[in-house]
Structure 1
Amino acid sequence: MLAALALIALTPPLLAAQEGASAMLEQGREALRRGDGLAAEVALRRAREAGIEQGEISALMGEAYLQQGDYADARRWLAEGYFAPDQRVHGFHMLARLEMAEGNLDAAASAFARALEGNPGTAEIWVDLGRLRYRAGQHHQALTAAEEALRRNGEDPRALEFRGQIARDADGLLAALPWFEKGLKSAPDDLSLLGEYAATLGEAGRAKDMLRITRRMIELDPENPRAFYLQAVLAARAGDYMLARRLLARTQDRFDEVPAAMMLEGVLEMRAENWALAVDVLDRLARSQPDNQRAALLLGRAMLENGDASEVIARYGPSVARGDASPYVLMLVARAHEVLGNRAAAAPLLDRAASPPSASIVPLALGEAGELALFRWGGDLDRLDGAVPRVRQLLAAGNVAEAQAYVTRLGARFAGSADIEVLSGDVALAGRDAARALMLYSNAAQVRRSLSLTQRMVAALRMQGRDAEGRALLAAYLVQHPQDGDAALALGYMQADAGEWNRAEPLLRFAREQRDGGGRDPVLFATLADAALRRGGAGEALADAETGFAAQRTNRRATLTLARVLENAGRKDAATALLEKTRKLPGG
């Protein structure tokens, strides 16, 4: 009897302790839901001290440390896999996130496999698994994971965000917007979704809507760096470079290593004529993205303006040795030689810059980064890291058969990789198998349709004599990316070649505005002059022709166009003098 009375007396304190521990556990979960890892850690420690078993909180503690960026402590709670049965799925999911954060992709895949053992998984798990697959180059499998996430929960903000990001890559900007809008219906204050939505609106040319969304982001988080970065982009596009610089400074250096932000910073420094600073940021960008041609060209100009003519020659000299070197690069290196007083070296480059571009298909240059990749992975040339430089090396040497065998091997090893499909398409195109190239490019475009891939598809179509389909394909891309000046320029030239001048001229004039007034592109202004002349715009034709000729007086196309415009205006003597000059130009 006394023992029973003692037990009854002790029961209320025990219940109170258990209730307190459960309350602490729920506080920890709530803190995790709002992203406060530190508060979650404190609450979970109190729950543990109040008697909650370790297995009940291991997954949650791991998540709390992940939110704080403390991977070492997160691993201490997650690595052993000591989770209560009802926490097992979440625990291995958090372990997978940890492995992803530390770049251990194979270990992350193993953790996801354990998280999905015996259960269909949550939308959140499938989103993270999709992101892992995307990082690992399994692009088609990533799309499958995104669709599976939506089957688990069609209203999940992260699932809708991920699907929108894939739609943006594959289908275009306008196609992505409905996914983000649907996500915001269920989570209107979700900063990540708002950021993706604002960025996509801006790229699509909807500046007012973008500004409205970024202001909402700042209302929710007055120091949100992404909102200020997006506003900086908007200000730069509007030509207010001082405002753009001030807004970029408010990102608290959070975007210092983001490629798009580095490009923006480089352009802003160039606008301010801070050439040394521009060289510094653009050099870092060009080294991190060796295939970013715009960054490379901007860097070259900044280096030249900074007085680094010798460095320009050293860096871009190998490029001008190639048959497909762009007129811009040829002019850049020629100017560098002129700065150093070496006109003899500059002259042939200027002649080539004035010549019509080569229509042949030439493999892209390998470059320093590619050589380093081949050296670094020399013991395993089938690594994805070295695939692009290896294929370029083989094609440059004319080893199409060996390149084909190589990409076939890569395709078996990296099934589902859009990058390998594009490389395989390049090899097929180099081997003049346009039909196979188009098939491979089309497969890749299901998950990643960039302008460069679209242009590859157009090249494959044109090789088959399907020019009209090529124009339609490029036009469809431009509909989805309405602010892409490079796409407008390419389509404008194609329409002009087809004699569709009424369609060509608006595209080319839009491209000129998107390209900062056309820059120093003599062919663009010559083509605009031709278009204006054909519709009877004599004054506009003369202005365009003179601008193109002034940009590069040795350009045969620009010179012939100006002569034709002058003759049309009745200035036959001036036209004759220019025609005489063309006989001395390359191709005359």
Structure 2
Amino acid sequence: MSEPRPSRYPLLRRRRRARGGRRVWRPGPRLRLGIVLVAALVVLGGVVALALRPSPPSADQLFARSLAALERGNIHAAYADAQAAARAAPQAGIVQAVLARTLIDLGEGAAAEAALDRAVAVGFPNGRLHQLRAAASLLQGDPDAALAHVAQAEPAYADYALRVRARALAAKGQGAAAQAELGDLLSRSPGDGAAWADLGRIRLSAGEVGGAAAAAAQAVRMAPRDPAALTLQGEVVRSRYGLVGALPWFEAALRSDAYYHPALIEYAGTLGDAGRATDALAATRRALVSRPGSQQAYYLQAVIAARAGNRVLARRLLQLTGGVIGDIPGVMLLDGALAFADRQDEQAAGIWRRLVAAQPMNVTARRLLANALLRSGDAAGALDVIRPIVLRGDADGYALRLAARASATLGQHAQAAQLLDRAASGQRGPSTIFQSADALGALQAEASRAAGDPTYALGVIRGLASGGNLPQAVAQARALVAAAPGAPAAQLAYGDTLAASGRYAEAVAAYGRAADLSFDEPALLRLLDAYGRLNRPRDAAATLALYLSQNPQSIVGARILGGWQLGGGEVGAAIETLEGVRAAAGDREAGLLADLARAYALISEGAVARIYGRAAYALAPMSAAVTDAYGVALIAAGDRNGARQLLDKAVALAPGDAAIRAHRAEIGGAAAAR
């Protein structure tokens, strides 16, 4: 074999074999020169980069940056720069004081107090720190210590100290005094955005949504980049208009400070309620970066897990809260639900009993507690809890069946039969005032001891209405509205007393004012009921459309919409809406299943209609509407004989219902003429 020709490129020529027979590659002179030049350039570039690299900021520069970040509302950036400045100049007391201020704004009271102690230790005058010590004490749950420090604050810091004093008074239950003090401050300094935010927060906590809205709007106007003011505005908008409208305000707060914990928590909760679970989970993770171990973030993650059906994960996440936020209604509701699902009935009952004590008019909580008590063997307790609901004309079938089971367990069979008849009929009377379990005298005594607290005044109004003294109930409700025009609860109570008196035109105006302050499900349902009684279907439709645009996950709203769509001939849309409700709420509402049976019958899906009709009839066999729906479903399925029997029964149950008689007439036979 001939030898290969040598390459024309020197660097590719074969080298002689080294000792041992192996060929050794060696760079040629040109390559060696290139390597040297590249190495020299790398070294020279590194030297140049080091020479051009800016020197680290000084303590003074970091301190100035921290103050600037505070001014533009980026509290986390202010904290980071203040912390770096404190490391660079550990003997600078003023830096420690500003570091404490940033920690206070982040809600870290204990860390702020430690920074203040360091400031004093390096010679900073303690007299200039009392207002900050007051804020740190308040964050640690000691309003009395906060007030003591406020009393020692120097005049130069009077405005800040007064704001802390107002918050401390509110924490002690003296909301009226707190608002008065902030009013005095704002009369002197109307441009104080932080004071407006404090006033709005106190008003919102007291249920004065109208006053809170005015204060929040002023706070945002005076401090447009303050994340606290923007978060408050988001909460007010969520209360007044709904979930979707609130999101931009929380997003604006997070543009000022991407890790502002209160905004992240409110944002995550709002996203979750709006059905955006993935985005909500991302927000909770940011909240845990902002505040490691955040109980609120773990709770929201537990809610997301529970909604996804992962009870084990939900329980684990709820345990991570450490019980610190266990008195929050939402936490009690979830904690009890997880215990109940795990058959820990007594534990669930204990949790829900605390919830009912805190919110006696919470119908959902009463149903849950009654069910837990009944399942744990306390039928008498269950009946006591559910009684205020079943006494109402608009009691739902689930509550009536619970009460019937409890009555039967106690041997009260006649009462149980009456309750079952009511549940089976499906007939619901008009909404009424929530019955009070306490004597009127006791309610009035409590109200006199807590003058100025609208909660007790509402109790008196309920007591008067429960006793049949509607004129006085209306008068007291009107007085409460005059005293607290921005409180939605007062407007609802006034509307309820008017509706109970048959004055629906006036009631709808009161309900409208309540909805303008807090557009929640109670306000929605009252408005729709009043519009229906006044024969104002367009107003009712507009109200429901507005509500669903802001609360797209509302099961109650969707259920009403589906019924209206079916009644209006939009069968395809009705099926889509009602199936969504069934997927979310389950198969225990006879009316929902009956509507689905009718809808599928209208599109000639007889087999499906029969399934839904049979399920509805099993739940409410004495309901004329449900029996009629089952009969219509059987017509669509081709079972005319079965349909005839059911429709005969429906006519007997509701002889004056023209629609039922028309359905019976469709299949003919002797009974059609009854």
TM-score of the superposed pair, with normalisation by structure 1 = 0.89
Partner of 2:16: none
Q: Which amino acid aligns with 1:263?
A: L
Partner of 1:37: 109
Partner of 1:57: 129
Partner of 1:15: none
Partner of 1:464: 534
Partner SS state of residue 188, structure 2: coil
Partner SS state of residue 366, structure 1: coil
RMSD: 2.7
Partner SS state of residue 446, structure 1: helix
**Mean Cα displacement is larger for which, 88-97 or 496-505?**
496-505
- Provide Cα deviations, 1:509-559, integer angstroms capped at 9, x if missing partner: 2221221x23x2112111110011112221221111111122233333323
- Provide Cα deviations, 1:250-296, integer angstroms capped at 9, x if missing partner: 11112211101111111111211211111111111112111111111
Any residues of structure 2 matched to 1:124-523 within 5 Å, and which?
124-317=194-387, 319-368=389-438, 373-378=443-448, 383-515=453-585, 517-518=586-587, 520-523=588-591
Cα distance in 2 for partners of 1:586, 1:335 equals 27
Is residue 605–residue 636 contact of structure 2 (8 Å, CA) maintained in 1?
Answer: no
Structure 1 position 185, deviation (Å): 0.8
Count of paired positions: 565
Partner SS state of residue 367, structure 2: helix
Cα distance in 2 for partners of 1:198, 1:322 equals 37
- Provide Cα deviations, 1:314-367, integer angstroms capped at 9, x if missing partner: 333454344332222211111223334543332221111122423434322223
Structure 1 position 214, deviation (Å): 1.6
Partner SS state of residue 34, structure 1: helix
Cα distance in 1 for partners of 2:488, 2:382 equals 34
Q: Which structure is higher in RCO with an 8 Å CA cutoff and minimum separation 6? A: 1
Where structure 1 has 5 or more consecutive residues not aligned to the other structure, the ranges are 1-19
Partner of 1:98: 168
Is residue 250–residue 267 contact of structure 2 (8 Å, CA) maintained in 1?
Answer: yes
Is residue 290–residue 369 contact of structure 1 (8 Å, CA) maintained in 2?
Answer: no
Partner SS state of residue 420, structure 1: helix
Partner SS state of residue 377, structure 1: helix
Structure 1 position 167, deviation (Å): 0.6
State whether structure 2 residue 140 is matched by structure 1 residue 68. Answer: yes
Cα distance in 2 for partners of 1:26, 1:118 equals 30
Partner of 2:149: 77
Q: Which amino acid aligns with 1:189?
A: Y
Is residue 388–residue 436 contact of structure 2 (8 Å, CA) maintained in 1?
Answer: no
Structure 1 position 566, deviation (Å): 2.0
Cα distance in 1 for partners of 2:451, 2:602 equals 54
**Mean Cα displacement is larger for which, 200-209 or 279-288?**
279-288
Cα distance in 2 for partners of 1:410, 1:71 equals 30
Partner of 1:569: 637
From the superposition, tell whether residues 317 and 587 of structure 1 become closer, same or farther in structure 2 (CA, over 3 Å): farther
Q: Which amino acid aligns with 2:622?
A: T
Cα distance in 1 for partners of 2:440, 2:449 equals 15
Based on CA coordinates, which of the two structures has the bigger radius of gyration? Answer: 2
**Mean Cα displacement is larger for which, 332-341 or 368-377?**
368-377
Structure 1 position 45, deviation (Å): 4.5
Partner of 2:605: 537
Cα distance in 1 for partners of 2:538, 2:216 equals 34
- Provide Cα deviations, 1:5-31, integer angstroms capped at 9, x if missing partner: xxxxxxxxxxxxxxx999314302312
Q: Which amino acid aligns with 2:142?
A: D
**Mean Cα displacement is larger for which, 544-553 or 146-155?**
544-553
Q: Which amino acid aligns with 2:156?
A: D
Structure 1 position 54, deviation (Å): 5.4
**Mean Cα displacement is larger for which, 178-187 or 547-556?**
547-556
From the superposition, tell whether residues 38 and 370 of structure 1 become closer, same or farther in structure 2 (CA, over 3 Å): farther
Structure 1 position 411, deviation (Å): 2.6
Is residue 88–residue 115 contact of structure 1 (8 Å, CA) maintained in 2?
Answer: no
**Mean Cα displacement is larger for which, 411-420 or 96-105?**
411-420
State whether structure 2 residue 618 is matched by structure 1 residue 550. Answer: yes
Structure 1 position 177, deviation (Å): 0.4
Where structure 2 has 5 or more consecutive residues not aligned to the other structure, the ranges are 1-88, 657-674
Q: Which amino acid aligns with 1:30?
A: L
Is residue 228–residue 247 contact of structure 1 (8 Å, CA) maintained in 2?
Answer: yes
Is residue 471–residue 495 contact of structure 1 (8 Å, CA) maintained in 2?
Answer: no
Partner of 1:9: none
Cα distance in 2 for partners of 1:586, 1:339 equals 31
From the superposition, tell whether residues 352 and 38 of structure 1 become closer, same or farther in structure 2 (CA, over 3 Å): closer
Structure 1 position 416, deviation (Å): 2.9
Cα distance in 2 for partners of 1:124, 1:412 equals 28
Cα distance in 2 for partners of 1:391, 1:500 equals 43
Cα distance in 1 for partners of 2:298, 2:265 equals 11
From the superposition, tell whether residues 357 and 275 of structure 1 become closer, same or farther in structure 2 (CA, over 3 Å): same
From the superposition, tell whether residues 22 and 141 of structure 1 become closer, same or farther in structure 2 (CA, over 3 Å): farther
Structure 1 position 453, deviation (Å): 0.4
- Provide Cα deviations, 1:222-252, integer angstroms capped at 9, x if missing partner: 4222221111111111111111111111111
From the superposition, tell whether residues 71 and 536 of structure 1 become closer, same or farther in structure 2 (CA, over 3 Å): same
Partner SS state of residue 129, structure 2: helix
Is residue 351–residue 586 contact of structure 1 (8 Å, CA) maintained in 2?
Answer: no
- Provide Cα deviations, 1:150-172, integer angstroms capped at 9, x if missing partner: 11111110010000000111111
Partner SS state of residue 89, structure 1: helix
Is residue 485–residue 511 contact of structure 1 (8 Å, CA) maintained in 2?
Answer: yes
- Provide Cα deviations, 1:81-140, integer angstroms capped at 9, x if missing partner: x43332111111111121122222233224324433532243221111111122344321
- Percent identity, aligned pairs only? 35
Cα distance in 2 for partners of 1:318, 1:68 equals 40
